[in-house]
Amino acid sequence: MTNHLGDIQNSKAIIIFGANPAVNHPVGFKHFLKAKERNNALLIVVDPRFTRTAAKADIYVRIRPGTDIPFMYGMLHLILKHGWHDEEFIKNRVFGFDEVIKEAKKWDPKKVEDVTGVPASKLIQVTRAYASRKPGTLVWAMGLTQHSIGSSNTRMAPILQLSLGNMGVFGGGCNILRGHDNVQGATDMCCLSHSLPGYYGLSEGSWKYFAHNWGVDFDWLQKRFASPKWMTTKGFTLAKWWDGVTQEEPIYSSSPIRVLWVQGNGITSIAQQEKVKKALDKLDLLVIAEPFANEAAILTDKENDVYILPTASQFECEGSVTATNRSAQWRSKVVDPLYESKTDEEIMFEFAKKFGFYDEFVRGMMMGVKDGKAVKVKNTFKWPEDATREIARIIKTIGLTGWTPERLKKHQENWHMFDEVTLKGIGPMAGEYYGLPWPCWTEEHPGSPVLYNINIPAKEGGMGFRARFGTEYKGVNLLAGPAATIKGAKVEGGYPELTKDNIEKVLGIKLSPKEKEIMGKNWKVDLSGLIAKYALEAGVVPYGNAKARAYVWTFPDPIPKHREPLHTPRYDLAKIYPTYPDKKNQYRCDTKFISIQKTDWSKEFPINLVTGRLVMYSGAGLIERNSKYITQLEPEMFAHINPELAYKHGINDGDMMWIYSPDGAKIKVKAKFSYSVSPDRIFLPFHFAGIFEGKDLSDKYPEGLVPYAIGESANTVTNYGYDIITQIPETKAGLCRIEKA
Ligand SMILES: Nc1nc2c(c(=O)[nH]1)N[C@H]1C(S)=C(S)[C@@H](COP(=O)(O)OP(=O)(O)OC[C@H]3O[C@@H](n4cnc5c(=O)[nH]c(N)nc54)[C@H](O)[C@@H]3O)O[C@H]1N2
Ligand SMILES: Nc1nc2c(c(=O)[nH]1)N[C@H]1C(S)=C(S)[C@@H](COP(=O)(O)OP(=O)(O)OC[C@H]3O[C@@H](n4cnc5c(=O)[nH]c(N)nc54)[C@H](O)[C@@H]3O)O[C@H]1N2
Ligand SMILES: [Mo]
């Protein structure tokens, strides 16, 4: 989130693309409702289904899955045509907008209607309503990301906001509602295969910075890999790990995957379950660290070398987590780990001991900084405080330096001392924002409640856009214009990222020889903290002040472009808006795009398949399906189906029906009549497992551990399809065929 949930109360208009907060963020959703009640905010919901969130909306837009880019270009088309855009903002703070204008010109309301299924009059109504109320906030979640063009969707939405000058203002911004309670923290720590923590990437330079901070030899670290090459090469993703085992598509790795270690994933939540099952069956070893009987172990026919390590839950451990708005929260232990279960960190420590690298694994927690260098300062560590200190010491990129355990605990103890709309503290917490939302540049900095806000001083959380991509591209200046000066800054307009070499010139200061000696090469690796200190003294932030890039020259589509889903019900449009060429070696395996789309699947599989969430279940659903009471609320897997579609297939409310996927998989589920879906699509929740293609797997659970509810996983029939950049599965747009069972 660029802003935060409470700040939505400052919005005059809220437009939601592909999120259903009434169901998935019901506590956060109260801020949306307060915005309506207190600020007379207008709520617009764009979703292929009429959701519970849509039920609270002033305007509901039923869109065809995977066509948000044409819809947003349609909005831009009208915004530009009527001059509703913010010219000053674009001039000073956006790069490459001309290219966007060219594309937007093509998307007149009639054409948008044809592609998206949204009547032209509705597009005009929505655009006028949204553009005329400022500030407006744009909210999205999985409905935008889980597509083969997911990454383009997530660029299109900010472009829309930039055009209206809705970025970097209270009540505005792009507010992406995150998933699990600490998913922001998990992302920031890069529990991902393409980066080191803090988004430092995988370059040798980054590894060296971490090796130094962990107190280990770079050479030792490099020798952990089959060869140096693999150290700087992206790994497999969770979405397509199965390919690393089955090698259905060519892989590019030092060896196939033979062991799967699962710690905190349901596995049945991954698309293409038949492929997942094949891979599970073929593994040498499957280890699952879990509080429950994880259904990966149930799905597989593998009989030996499957282990479940009883793991403690979040209530049995302590430490910092990061909320959806970048605020840190300290969490206390409620009870000690029950029975023989161990906490996640204990399991990892034991693992490191067995494999002989425990000392190296924990040394980072015993390090501190002296004269700009990381040095060992003690011989023991205290969990989790020293882990938090390690994070604060190393992660400069997103500004975690200010997150000391002492500050975070003080925030936890003073929850009642913060205002929910501004996050500002009072009394003992005056001068700080709740949870010190990152970037929190120094131990004195209050945190940044709203990203890219140049209207408040840097010392109070102000900043421009990060100057991440140099100072110019093909002779065009990438830095912010003069009107984008951060309030109270000594440096006018844009400036580059601060380095040891440019800091004196940019800030107009003189460093002492000692300061020069201990200062890091640039702000991202400056352990001395001097760059952040002098930046804030000059009223700016270390990461520069640039234009936001609407045009990204390194991406396959430099500006977002509509491309039909791999499986589209409008095959005529796939010819006009084809998907990408197949991609070689994407996260160590090939990914198919056009070779899937070259077939017209819609003839045999004419129905759109949309998947998503229910309020009483989470993720793979195992936790709640183990609750006798929660399962009473929704005991069975089902498909929402419009009666008109159902009757065509002789299906009655409550009948069982088969759903077939183009990949040859099938599931048997209960038909539930609902007008939330139109007759051209069905909706499946993805929270069930334990039944696979009609076969009940109850006998495979350990004795006494069959959940109160089991069912088919929607992911058995989610289609092949992955995002071109991130490889997130296309679980929000696919096709299927149905039959009465
Ligand atoms: N079709 C379809 N598929 C989807 C999605 C969709 O919209 N449609 N959404 C996707 C998204 S966004 C997500 S995030 C995933 C979510 O899916 P998963 O990542 O599978 O999420 P959960 O089921 O919430 O949690 C996984 C497991 O973690 C275990 N667990 C809980 N607490 C702890 C702990 O403290 N330690 C350990 N070691 N384990 C613990 C739980 O018991 C559970 O079995 O699903 C994805 N899959
Ligand atoms: N109760 C509950 N709450 C949860 C979770 C849970 O499992 N249960 N999971 C958590 C997690 S991990 C996450 S990531 C979040 C996810 O939160 P959300 O993203 O809100 O979750 P979904 O229900 O998967 O998808 C949101 C909406 O996207 C719509 N959609 C599908 N395709 C498209 C499209 O092409 N365009 C548009 N505009 N909309 C589309 C769907 O119809 C759906 O209503 O929720 C979190 N909160
Ligand atoms: Mo998620």
Each residue's pLDDT tens digit, 38-53: 999 999 999 999 999 9
In a domain, 512, yes or no: no
Pocket test for ligand 2, best of 17, 20, 23, 24 (most atoms within 8 A of CB): 24
Average pLDDT on 331-344 reads 97
Domain end (from 132, 152, 176): 176
Nearest to 158 by CA among 144, 170, 146, 147: 144
Which tens digit of pLDDT belongs to each residue from 597-610?
999 999 999 999 99
> Among the three residues 363, 388, 413, which one is the final residue of a domain in this structure?
413
Amino acid (1-letter code) at residue 176? I
Nearest CA to ligand 2 atom 38: 18
For residues 643 and 674, membership in a common domain is answered with yes
Q: What pLDDT is stored for residue 181 in this prediction?
A: 86
**CATH number, position 124:** 3.40.228.10
Q: Are 371 and 404 part of one and the same domain?
A: yes
pLDDT at res. 80: 98
484 occurs within a structural domain:
no
Same domain, 171 and 190: no
Q: Which atom of ligand 1 is nearest to the CA of 623?
A: 42
Q: Tell me which ligand sits closest to the C-alpha of residue 564.
A: 2
CA distance linking residue 287 with residue 308, whole number of Å: 6
Q: How far is the CA of 17 from the centre of ligand 3 (A)?
A: 16
264 CA to middle of ligand 1, Å?
7
Instruction: Looking at the structure, tell me whether residues 40 and 147 fall in a common domain.
Output: yes
- Count the alpha carbons within 13 Å of 407 in the hemisphere toward its beta carbon: 26
- Region for 98 from its dihedrals, namely left if φ exceeds 0, alpha if ψ lies in -120 to 50, beta otherwise: alpha
> What average pLDDT score do residues 500-528 get?
98
Runs of H (alpha helix) within 263-343 = 273-282, 296-299
Residue 651 CB: number of other CB atoms within 10 A?
21
Provide the sign of the torsion angle of the four alpha carbons 233, 234, 235, 240, taken in this order: negative
569-588 pLDDT, tens digit per residue, is 999 999 999 999 999 999 99
The Cα 467–Cα 522 span in angstroms is 13
Residues with a CB atom less than 6 Å from ligand 2: 17-20, 23-25, 46-49, 51, 63, 65-66, 68, 141-143, 177, 179-180, 610, 612-613, 615, 617-619, 732-733
Specify whether 651 is located in the same domain as 629. yes
Give the SS3 label for residue 376: strand
The reported pLDDT for the residue numbered 147 is 98
687 CA distance to ligand 2 middle (Å): 12
Res. 15 pLDDT band, cuts 50 70 90: very high
77 and 193 within one domain:
no
Number of domains observed in the structure of the chain: 3
Query: Is 589 a domain residue?
Result: no
With a Cβ cut-off of 6 Å, ligand 1 is lined by 142, 146, 179, 263-266, 269, 289-292, 294, 311, 313-314, 344, 611-612, 618-620, 622-623, 686, 714-715, 718, 731
Atom of ligand 1 nearest to the CA of 291: 42
The DSSP bridge partners found for residue 95 are 549
**Tokens at 447, concatenated:** 């945190």
> What is the rounded CA–CA span in Å between residue 34 and residue 456?
25
Report pLDDT digits (tens) over 399-454: 999 999 999 999 999 999 999 999 999 999 999 999 999 999 999 999 999 999 99
CA angle 420, 421, 426 (to 5 degrees): 60
Mean pLDDT within 134-163: 98
Q: Whose CA is nearest to atom 10 of ligand 1?
A: 269
Q: Give the strand pairing for 306-310 and 259-263.
A: unpaired
Does 284 reside within a domain? Answer: yes
Whether 713 contacts 686, CB under 8 Å:
yes
Structure tokens at 251: 């892989």
Looking at residue 93, its pLDDT comes to 98
**Span between the terminal Cα atoms of the chain, in Å:** 44
Q: Are residues 342 and 236 in the same domain?
A: yes
| Residue 667 Cα to ligand 1 middle (Å) | 21
Q: What is the pLDDT of residues 227-270, one digit of tens each?
A: 999 999 999 999 999 999 999 989 999 999 999 999 999 999 99
HSE toward the beta carbon, residue 277, CA cutoff 13 A: 17
Cα–Cα distance measured from residue 468 to residue 544, given in angstroms and rounded to the nearest whole number: 8
Q: Does residue 249 share a domain with residue 342? A: yes
Please name the residue whose Cα sits nearest to atom 1 of ligand 2. Answer: 615
**Element holding 186 (H helix, E strand):** helix 183-188
- Distance CA(634)–CA(579), nearest Å, equals 38
Residues 93 and 235 in one domain: no
- Determine the distance separating the centroid of ligand 2 and the alpha carbon of 145, expressed in angstroms: 10
User: Is 654 inside a domain boundary?
Assistant: yes
Of 51, 240, 269, the one to substitute when testing ligand 1's pocket (max ligand atoms within 8 A of C-beta) is 269
Q: Are 716 and 636 in contact (CB under 8 A)?
A: no
Place of tokens 């214009």: 481
| Nearest ligand to the C-alpha atom of residue 298 | 1
pLDDT for 199: 97
Let me know whether 170 and 265 are in one domain: no
pLDDT in tens, 134-147: 999 999 999 999 99
Identify whether 709 is part of a domain.
yes
Ligand 1 centroid distance, CA of 620 (Å): 5
- CA-CA distance, 653 to 372, in Å (whole number)? 69
pLDDT for 530 beyond 90: yes
User: Do 194 and 83 lie in a common domain?
Assistant: no
245 in the Ramachandran plot: left (φ > 0), alpha (ψ -120 to 50) or beta? alpha
Tokens found for residue 547: 């234009």
Q: Is the pLDDT of residue 158 over 90?
A: yes
Q: What separation in Å is there between the alpha carbon of 479 and the centre of ligand 2?
A: 36
Name the average pLDDT for the chain. Answer: 97
Q: How many whole angstroms from 267 Cα to the centroid of ligand 1?
A: 8
**Token pair listed for 206:** 């980054």
- Provide the pLDDT for residue 558: 98
DSSP assignment of 574-598: HHHS--PPPEEEETTEEE-SHHHHT
172 and 127 in a common domain: yes
Cα 3 to Cα 418: distance, rounded to the nearest angstrom: 16
Percent of the chain with pLDDT over 90: 99
Q: The CATH number of the domain where 378 resides is what?
A: 3.40.50.740
Please indicate, yes or no, if residue 17 is contained in any of the structural domains. Answer: yes
Residue 482 inside a domain? The answer is no
- Maximum CA extent, the chain: 83
> What are the φ and ψ backbone dihedral angles of 612, each rounded to 5 degrees?
180, -150
Pick the residue whose CA is nearest to atom 37 on ligand 2. 18
* Rounded average pLDDT over 521-529: 98
Pocket test for ligand 2, best of 1, 53, 608, 732 (most atoms within 8 A of CB): 732
Q: Bridge-partner residues for 208, per DSSP? A: none
| Cα(641) to centroid(ligand 2), Å | 18
Tell which of 413, 443, 474 closes a domain: 413
- For the domain that residue 703 is a member of, what is the CATH number? 2.40.40.20
Count Cβ atoms below 10 Å from residue 303 Cβ, excluding itself: 8
DSSP-derived 3-state class of residue 68: helix
Q: 682 lies in which domain range?
A: 597-740
Other CB atoms within a 10 A radius of the CB of residue 653 amount to 12
User: Can you tell me which atom of ligand 2 is nearest the CA of 46?
Assistant: 38
